[in-house]
Amino acid sequence: MTESSAATVRSRERGSSRGSDSAAEPGSSRRSASSRGSDSSRGSRRSERASHTWRSGGSSVARWDWELVGWAVLLLGAGILLATLADRLVGGALGSALSIAALWGGMLAAIILAFVRSRPRMLLRFHPFDLLYGVVLGVLLRFIQGFLEIAGTGTAAWPTAGTLDGSLPASFWFDGVLAPVVIAPLLEEFFFRAVLLVAIFTAVRRMTNSRSWAGFAAITVTTLLFIGLHLVFDIYTWWSVATLGIVGLVCAGLVVATSRIWGAVLTHIVFNGVAVAMLLVGTVGT
């Protein structure tokens, strides 16, 4: 074979190789496009799953219905009845302790009953924004309470606690700190804004096929029941009732807006915690 013939053969081989490479490119391009489409589809499905919460229904709230609302209200009523009997029949420190235990027991029983059925999607998930909501809204609500008190009484006296020989009684740290700042907000928010609110929202949404009406009904009913519970055990002024209503509306609206319970829990904790902190400062100052 001459050198020119060999050069011709090599040139043809290189051309053939380039042709095969170019022939492979369209298939490769199609596979790349298919891969991108698959990734986009998976991303879309993940986005849909992330936006799907208990407000949309589904299996996570399949058994959260009017029956659960009925049981929750019944258990709360039983707790109120037992608490009232314990306070009146036993009396004293023991009667007070039994009264609180009965009330908390009724709410806790309803919470357990609800979450044994299922766990509403996203309701128990924590987001860092929940902490921000809790601090900002809790402090803001305490300021609103102060303004309402000034409007109702003409003044807002700094709160103080009674002391025993110049010091706070031992029971104060449970009755005045742990109970109102931690236990009560947790139980009340889970009962009113988790169990009752989610069950009412779900039941009304099924009846009306409207999230707007469901949200309105759930927020309104749970706020009224929240106020009613407090009125059973104490005498409140109009501005105190207004404060309870605003706290209930804000916490309920926060749960409906975010689908999560922790923002409402932290708002309630901060709201009560600021009052306890003011009480301690006022007592120490005095």
Instruction: Return the HEC string of the chain.
Output: CCHHHHHHHHHHHHHHHHHHHHHHHHHHHHHHHHHHHHHHHHHHHHHHHHHCCHHHCCHHHCCCCHHHHHHHHHHHHHHHHHHHHHHHHHCHHHHHHHHHHHHHHHHHHHHHHHHHHCCCCCCCCCCHHHHHHHHHHHHHHHHHHHHHHHHHHCCCCCCCCCCECCECCCCHHHHHHHHHHHHHHHHHHHHHHHHHHHHHHHHHHHHHCCHHHHHHHHHHHHHHHHHHHHHHHCCCCHHHHHHHHHHHHHHHHHHHHHCCCHHHHHHHHHHHHHHHHHHHHHHHHC
Average pLDDT over residues 23-42: 48
**What gap in Å lies between CA 99 and CA 96, rounded to an integer?**
5
Q: Which residue has the tokens 């996203």?
A: 122
pTM (predicted TM-score): 0.81
User: 202 near 57, Cβ under 8 Å?
Assistant: yes
Average pLDDT over residues 44-56: 65
**What gap in Å lies between CA 94 and CA 183, rounded to an integer?**
19
pLDDT at 48 over 50: no
For residue 144 the two structure tokens come to 């609103």
**How many other C-beta atoms lie within 10 A of the C-beta of residue 271?**
25
Of 174 and 69, the one with more pLDDT: 69
**How many other C-beta atoms lie within 10 A of the C-beta of residue 254?**
24
Comparing CA positions, the residue from 141, 129, 122, 265 lying closest to residue 198 is: 122
Q: What percent of the chain has pLDDT over 90?
A: 66
Residue 138, C-beta contacts closer than 8 angstroms, at least 6 positions apart: 266, 267, 268, 269, 270, 271, 273, 274
**What gap in Å lies between CA 130 and CA 261, rounded to an integer?**
9
For residue 184 the two structure tokens come to 């009560």
What pLDDT score does 252 carry? 98
Q: Give residue 92's pLDDT band: very low, low, confident or very high (50, 70, 90).
A: confident
**How many other C-beta atoms lie within 10 A of the C-beta of residue 89?**
9
Q: Give residue 175's pLDDT band: very low, low, confident or very high (50, 70, 90).
A: confident
**What gap in Å lies between CA 210 and CA 87, rounded to an integer?**
43
Mean pLDDT, rounded, of the chain: 85
Average pLDDT over residues 222-227: 98
pLDDT at 123 over 70: yes
Cα-based distances in Å from 38 to 24, 44, 124 = 21, 10, 31
Q: What percent of the chain has pLDDT over 70?
A: 80
Q: Give residue 93's pLDDT band: very low, low, confident or very high (50, 70, 90).
A: confident
**What gap in Å lies between CA 177 and CA 184, rounded to an integer?**
10
For residue 156 the two structure tokens come to 């807002």
pLDDT at 38 over 80: no
